[in-house]
Chains A and B, each alone.
Chain A
Amino acid sequence: MSTFQITIDETGETFPCHAESSVLEGMFKLGRREIPLGCRGGACGVCRIEVLAGDFRKKAMSRAHVDAADEKAGRVLACRIFPMSDLKLKVSGPIKRSLLAPAKDSCTHFFAAQQRGD
């Protein structure tokens, strides 16, 4: 099975990812607890990334989070893309906050913010 190197542009960090694994699964295998996993099925939008370089295949992802222009521009969900070459990614959305600056606020604060619609 082919394995490719995925590079996170902001940090320069790399991790290996099998062609049959989603990029999110590949990230998860780093064992980094701060990487948020959401539904892992393309519905919730938590793992939104931008692919800056490289080829991948993709499965359907919710139009509630990725519109056609996003998809064309490589702004996709990490749980629904599978590498076909080495990839360079920019992380964005909730995943960025967690990956680049682990949130200091508690889940309680997070939940309360959700209630307020922040």
Chain B
Amino acid sequence: MALVGVMRPGHAQIRVLDLEEGIHFYRDVLGLVETGRDTQGRVYFKCWDERDHNSLIIRQADRAGIDFFAFKVLDKATLDKLDADLRAYGLKTERIPAGDLLETGERVRFEIPSGHLIELYADKTCVGNGLDMVNPRPWNANSERGIAPIRFDHGLLYGPNIAAVQKIFTEVLGFFLVERVLTPDGKGNVAIWLSCSHKVHDIAFVEHAEPGKLHHCSFLLESWEEVLRAGDIMSMNKVPIDIGPTRHGITRGCTIYAWDPSGNRFETYMGGYQPYPDYQTLTWTFDELGPGLDYPQRKLHETFLTVVS
């Protein structure tokens, strides 16, 4: 097996200001599959083609934003090893018992210098994607309902100290740096895109004074036409769009960004490319951030750069 260690983003827990509005949006407009509700009032979703029980959890709170972002690791031994590695590196870790999140095993939680809580876990109940395991059909009704992304793909988080964050992800967790945007003086990075897999990013960070902020959670679609269809569905439902449909220079992703009813930004996207761990990092200079963000229009969008939850 080649893909070991940290495998992929596994779940994110998002705070919404009105739970019913959040449920309606994530289930009926974004088209995720609701998989459960717990005694704390949290509601669990997954994308239709994901097999694990949940990838997005929402809870009602008095402020929007993200509670934690988690990665699934290969197995229990990997979880224990990474926990020890994080502690040896000097980070404090905490064990959240199995079952705290529905159908989810023990989690290792730690805070990174950007002020975000990151989790690792090895076990989550496989509930399947609704297709057969033998002679499967290619799709089903859930793949056609709402925007219907196939997976929770990555997140972009805003906070301070991203140089220190990059070291943790690359030196302890086995990620590699795919692309970056330099600071105006060229001496540091204002933004980094990190991969633990064959994806152009599994998580990304932007340097920002206020810690622990969410820029967006991203959901993968399979074609540019599906991205345009997503834009139609957003407009039909009066979902406020930030930018797009367009293509990023950075990552080459083809995308729309919009906000959920509580002002948490999400992305529906397709494309990018498939880097291997020997990929040489691509660099964008600060003065070319416009095309990096919006390649056709070569435009800096103030809301995209500054509005976070």
Q: Residues on A close to B: CB < 8 A?
A: 36-44, 46, 59-64, 79, 106-108, 110-112, 114-117
Residue of A nearest to B184 (CB): A112
Residue of B nearest to A79 (CB): B263
A5–B17 Cα gap in the complex (Å)?
28
Pair A107/B302 contact, Cβ less than 8 Å: yes
Q: CB-CB < 8 A to B301: which residues of A?
A: 107
Q: CB-CB < 8 A to B261: which residues of A?
A: 41
Asked, given contacts A62-B62, A62-B263, whether A43 binds B303 with beta carbons under 8 Å apart, the answer is: no
Q: CB-CB < 8 A to B207: which residues of A?
A: 115
Q: CB-CB < 8 A to A114: which residues of B?
A: 208-209, 305-306
Choose from B17, B208, B265 the contact partner of A115 (Cβ within 8 Å).
Answer: B208
Choose from A36, A64, A107 the contact partner of B305 (Cβ within 8 Å).
Answer: A107
**Residues of B contacting A: mostly:** loop
The total number of A-B Cβ pairs within 8 Å is 97
Choose from A37, A59, A116 the contact partner of B18 (Cβ within 8 Å).
Answer: A59
- Sorted from nearest, which 8 A-B pairs have the closest CB atoms? A43-B263, A41-B263, A117-B209, A39-B263, A43-B64, A60-B17, A43-B309, A107-B300
A107–B303 Cα gap in the complex (Å)?
9
Choose from B62, B305, B309 the contact partner of A39 (Cβ within 8 Å).
Answer: B309
A20–B65 Cα gap in the complex (Å)?
26
Q: When each residue 287-307 of chain B gets 1 if its CB lies under 8 Å from chain A and 0 otherwise, what string results?
A: 101000000000011110111
Q: Which chain B residues numbered 170 to 194 have a C-beta less than 8 Å away from chain A? A: 183-184, 190
Pair A63/B240 contact, Cβ less than 8 Å: no
Pair A108/B17 contact, Cβ less than 8 Å: no
Residue of B nearest to A110 (CB): B302
B308 close to A (CB within 8 Å): yes
Question: Which of A43, A110, A116 has the largest count of B CB atoms less than 10 A from its CB?
Answer: A43
Pair B63/A116 contact, Cβ less than 8 Å: no
Pair B17/A61 contact, Cβ less than 8 Å: yes
Q: CB-CB < 8 A to A60: which residues of B?
A: 17-18, 62, 262
A37–B263 Cα gap in the complex (Å)?
11
9 A-B Cβ contacts within 8 A?
A: A39-B259, A41-B260, A43-B263, A44-B308, A64-B65, A79-B263, A110-B305, A111-B289, A112-B184
B264 close to A (CB within 8 Å): yes
Residue of B nearest to A103 (CB): B302
B303 to chain A, nearest CB (A): 6
Asked, given contacts A36-B303, A107-B301, A115-B207, whether A41 binds B262 with beta carbons under 8 Å apart, the answer is: yes
Asked, given contacts A36-B302, A43-B309, whether A63 binds B259 with beta carbons under 8 Å apart, the answer is: no
A39–B213 Cα gap in the complex (Å)?
14
Q: CB-CB < 8 A to A117: which residues of B?
A: 209-210
Pair A43/B289 contact, Cβ less than 8 Å: no
